[in-house]
């Protein structure tokens, strides 16, 4: 450490280093005795009085230095400044240099004057021996080491030089590094000790800060030794466990301290033992974290850190708020917020647990799915608030009916599920389930209204050994679907045939997906003729699928499957592209009509698809008709109107298919960009016998023509129907089996050339009234 560095040391550290010079006085006595004996022996050997003087000088200096050290001991340094400390350092150096200089003079004199081998050996040996202890005693003062070593060695150097011997001269020079190395060693020792002193001061400061931080922690902390005795405890730990003063906890066993704390909390013996067991598992490393419910209003979470020396640090905090929040969240996750019934996931857990309780016994268990009939009508007529009140009333009755004998839950919307674990091993479980279903029917009071509700139910019964909740839910849903289809409001028990039909339907879906991917669908075309059958104007493209094993699958079957699979758009794209290509081979006056589904009109992508198809095939837009049903217009009429408007603006003809079968047909005619209405076959059936039906047909045609729309009548199958339609000029085009059934594209050209080879009635001049 340099002078500047030492000068920068705090005064108390500087004082500590100077104080070290005045310690270990026994070494001074030993040194004095060794010097006196040595010089006395030399005197006896040489009879030179100088050595007697040196002996006396050493004794006198030792006495004076001891007296000075005694004064140092009596000095009050509590308010000492650096100047005072430095004065005492100088006093020490003066006494030390006096001794070393005396030794050095004796050595130089023995070399240069006495030239007695014993004198030289004795004096130099005792002097250099003193240099060995020089570093250990005087490391606290850089100047002391340098001056003492120099005053001892320089007289030796001078004595060697006076001999004028080259070898002695070299030896004299080699003594100088000895002085330097002694000085360096002392510096290293002093620097090391100074760093440790400063580090100790810093550690003390940090310890104070740590203690302050420890006692202001929000966490409690207990440090235990290898015997589980408390070494450190902070104030938070004492407060959480009601342990009292932390100073009283040191060296006490953790178990004793915990028992003392829980006694103040008035806990029972069993509760105290439970807490001790949890902490014991944590301390032994069997758990890394434990949640200890101290009381109903206090939950502490403990974690432990184990050190290699066996010490353990326990850190814990009050997590009562978090536990209560978790409980609320768990309540929200496990139970439906509206009805208070278990949620779907928690229901599954409860059902599995109930079956597990049955053990190895194989008893019959049941699952029932309930659907509230016409619940949507309640929401539509009375609003969702009243609908929610009705669901709460239904859930309340369901809980009352099942009691503790079954587990009820709300699946979704207006669907409920009940699991019957059959704990009583009743042989009439199906009757019990039907009784619950029957009890759910009847009047409910909700929101000031009375509702007479019925429930459709699907039931499945299986042995407990075959309990697979997911499979049971599927089977119960199949039974519920059967109820809705055949006996709405009734209760149907699952039968294997339902599963077979379901699996068959799933297999058909898979086959349809493969067929679409493989391009196995085909198109047939049903022509639309002028009312006299002389001219073919347009052909409606109809998708066809021939299953490799089942043969032809009806369109109403596979189109519904495609909608469920979300693949109907793929079919539309195929039909558009193939129909446009086929139409290019027909005469230019013949158009082609393609049906669009509800899914096709949910985004503007259909506009791009149509435009790309026309560009790729080269078909003129005026030869493409796009048919939409009224159901396409129900969800988002404004969006559908915009899409259809964009398509018609590009030159495409827009037609409404199955017109008259929807809810708001007339309103759509006023706002939608429509060119054609296709009157559904239901208006044509029995028009000769049913005058009312024929009036509807005539009125619809009259309204369409008044709006400037073209009229296509579908489902014309008899000459009598055609005669009546032509007599009153109800149609611009006729589509039906009377003229032609759906056919391949290759057969269309013959019809284009030859027309219909059937006799038709000649239209009269009658107009629609």
| Per-residue pLDDT at 658 | 80
CATH-assigned architecture of domain 220-325: 2-Layer Sandwich (3.30)
Comparing 232-246, 366-380, 733-747, the range with the smallest average pLDDT is 232-246
Contacts of 511 (CB under 8 A, 6+ apart): 547
| Per-residue pLDDT at 464 | 84
Token pair, residue 74, equals: 């009596």
What's the average model confidence in pLDDT over 247-265? 74
What share of the chain in percent tops pLDDT 90? Answer: 22
- pLDDT for residue 617 is more than 70: yes
Contact 224, 230 (CB under 8 A): yes
Label residue 755 by pLDDT band (50, 70, 90).
low
Q: What angle do CA 441, 368, 474 make, to 5 degrees?
A: 135
Label residue 716 by pLDDT band (50, 70, 90).
very high
What's the average model confidence in pLDDT over 234-261? 75
List the CATH code of the domain at 335-494: 3.30.70.270
Burial of 463 (0-12, 13-18, 19+ CB in 10 A): exposed
| Per-residue pLDDT at 765 | 35
Contacts of 728 (CB under 8 A, 6+ apart): 698, 766, 767, 768
Tens-digit pLDDT profile for residues 403-446: 888 999 998 888 999 999 877 777 888 889 999 999 999 999 98
- pLDDT for residue 7 is more than 50: no
Tens-digit pLDDT profile for residues 621-656: 999 999 998 777 766 778 888 899 999 999 999 998
> Residue 52: which H helix or E strand, with range?
helix 49-74
Q: What is 163-195 written as a DSSP string?
A: TT-HHHHHHHHHHHHHHHHHHHHHHHHHHHHHH
Tens-digit pLDDT profile for residues 213-226: 566 677 877 788 88
- pLDDT for residue 5 is more than 60: no
Label residue 205 by pLDDT band (50, 70, 90).
low
Mean pLDDT of the chain: 82
- pLDDT for residue 1 is more than 60: no
Question: Which residues of the chain form CATH 3.30.70.270?
Answer: 335-494
Name the nearest CA neighbour of 50 among 182, 193, 159. 159
CA atoms of 492 and 691, how far apart (whole Å): 42
Question: Which residues of the chain form CATH 3.20.20.450?
Answer: 521-754
What share of the chain in percent tops pLDDT 70? Answer: 89
Comparing 184-193, 472-481, 667-676, the range with the smallest average pLDDT is 184-193
- pLDDT for residue 761 is more than 50: no
Tens-digit pLDDT profile for residues 282-302: 778 778 788 877 777 788 888
Comparing 135-149, 347-361, 646-660, the range with the smallest average pLDDT is 135-149
DSSP state of 307: -
What's the average model confidence in pLDDT over 687-714? 88
| Per-residue pLDDT at 501 | 78
10 Å Cβ neighbour count for 120?
A: 19
Question: Which residues of the chain form CATH 3.30.450.20?
Answer: 220-325
* CATH value of 521-754 in 3.20.20.450, 2.60.40.3140, 3.40.50.2300, 3.30.565.10: 3.20.20.450
**3-class DSSP assignment, residue 625:** strand
């Amino acid at each position: 450490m340099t002078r500047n560095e030492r000068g920068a040391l705090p005064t108390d550290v500087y004082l500590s280093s100077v104080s070290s010079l005045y310690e270990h006085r026994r070494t001074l006595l030993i040194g004095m005795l060794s010097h006196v004996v040595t010089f006395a022996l030399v005197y006896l050997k040489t009879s030179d009085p100088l050595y007697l003087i040196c002996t006396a000088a050493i004794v006198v200096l030792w006495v004076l230095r001891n007296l000075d050290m005694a004064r140092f001991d009596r000095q009050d340094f509590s308010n000492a400044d650096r100047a005072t400390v430095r004065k005492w350092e100088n006093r020490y150096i003066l006494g030390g240099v006096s001794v070393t200089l005396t030794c050095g003079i004796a050595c130089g004199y023995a070399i240069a004057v006495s030239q007695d081998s014993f004198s030289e050996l004795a004096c130099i040996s005792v002097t250099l021996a003193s240099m060995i202890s020089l570093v250990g005693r005087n490391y606290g003062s850089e100047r002391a080491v340098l001056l003492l070593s120099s005053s001892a060695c320089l007289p030796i150097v001078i004595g060697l030089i006076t001999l004028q011997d080259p070898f002695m001269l070299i030896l004299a020079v080699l003594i100088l590094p000895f002085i330097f190395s002694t000085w360096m060693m002392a510096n290293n020792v002093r620097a090391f000790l100074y760093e440790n002193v400063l580090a100790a001061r810093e550690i003390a400061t940090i310890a104070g800060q740590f203690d302050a931080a420890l006692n202001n922690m929000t966490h409690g902390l207990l440090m235990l030794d290898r015997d589980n005795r408390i070494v450190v405890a902070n104030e938070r730990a004492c407060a959480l466990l009601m342990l009292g003063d932390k100073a009283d906890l040191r060296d006490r066993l953790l178990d004793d301290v915990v028992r003392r704390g829980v006694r103040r909390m008035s806990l029972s013996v069993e509760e105290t033992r439970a807490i001790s067991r949890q902490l014991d598992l944590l301390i032994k490393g069997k758990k890394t974290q434990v949640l200890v419910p101290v009381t109903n209003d206090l939950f502490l979470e403990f974690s432990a850190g184990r050190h290699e020396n066996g010490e353990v640090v326990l850190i814990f905090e009050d997590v009562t708020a978090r536990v209560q929040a978790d409980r609320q969240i768990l309540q929200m996750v496990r139970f439906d917020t509206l009805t208070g019934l278990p949620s779907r996931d928690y229901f599954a857990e409860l059902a599995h647990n109930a079956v597990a309780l049955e053990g190895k016994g194989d008893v019959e268990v049941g699952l029932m799915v309930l659907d509230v009939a016409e619940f949507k009508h309640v929401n539509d007529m009375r609003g969702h608030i009243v609908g929610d009140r009705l669901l709460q009333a239904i859930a309340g009755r369901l809980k009352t009916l099942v009691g503790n004998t079954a587990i009820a839950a709300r699946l979704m919307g207006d669907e409920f599920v009940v699991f019957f674990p059959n704990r009583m091993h009743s042989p009439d479980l199906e009757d019990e389930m039907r009784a619950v279903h029957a009890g759910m029917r009847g009047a409910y009071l909700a929101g000031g209204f009375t509702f007479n509700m019925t429930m459709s139910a699907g039931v499945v019964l299986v042995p407990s050994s075959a309990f697979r909740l997911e499979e049971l839910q599927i089977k119960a849903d199949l039974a519920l679907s059967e109820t809705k289809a055949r006996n709405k409001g009734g209760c149907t028990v699952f039968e294997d045939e339902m599963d077979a039909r379901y699996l068959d339907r799933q297999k058909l879906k898979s086959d349809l997906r493969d067929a679409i991917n493989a391009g196995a669908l085909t198109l047939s075309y049903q022509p639309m003729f002028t009312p006299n059958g002389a001219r073919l104007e347009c052909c409606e493209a109809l998708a066809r699928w021939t299953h490799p094993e089942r043969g032809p699958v009806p369109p109403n079957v596979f189109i519904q499957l495609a909608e469920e699979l979300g693949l109907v758009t793929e079919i539309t794209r195929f039909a558009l592209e193939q129909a446009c290509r086929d139409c290019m081979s027909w005469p230019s006056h013949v158009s082609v009509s393609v049906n669009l589904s509800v899914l096709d009109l949910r985004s503007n992508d259909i506009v791009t698809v149509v435009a790309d198809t026309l560009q790729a095939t080269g078909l003129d837009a005026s030869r493409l008709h796009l048919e939409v049903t009224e159901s396409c217009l129900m969800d988002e009429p404004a969006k559908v109107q915009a899409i259809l408007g964009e398509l018609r603006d590009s030159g495409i003809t827009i037609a409404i298919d199955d017109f008259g079968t929807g809810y708001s047909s007339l309103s759509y005619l006023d706002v939608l960009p429509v060119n054609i209405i296709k009157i559904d076959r239901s208006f044509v059936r029995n028009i000769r016998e049913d005058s009312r039906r024929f009036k509807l047909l005539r009125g619809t045609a009259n309204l369409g023509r008044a709006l400037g729309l073209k009229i296509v009548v579908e489902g014309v199958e008899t000459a009598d129907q055609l005669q009546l339609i032509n007599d009153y000029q109800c149609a611009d085009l006729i589509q039906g089996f009377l003229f032609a059934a759906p056919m391949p594209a290759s057969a269309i050209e013959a019809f284009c050339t030859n027309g219909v080879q059937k006799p038709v009635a000649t239209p009269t001049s009658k107009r629609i009234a």
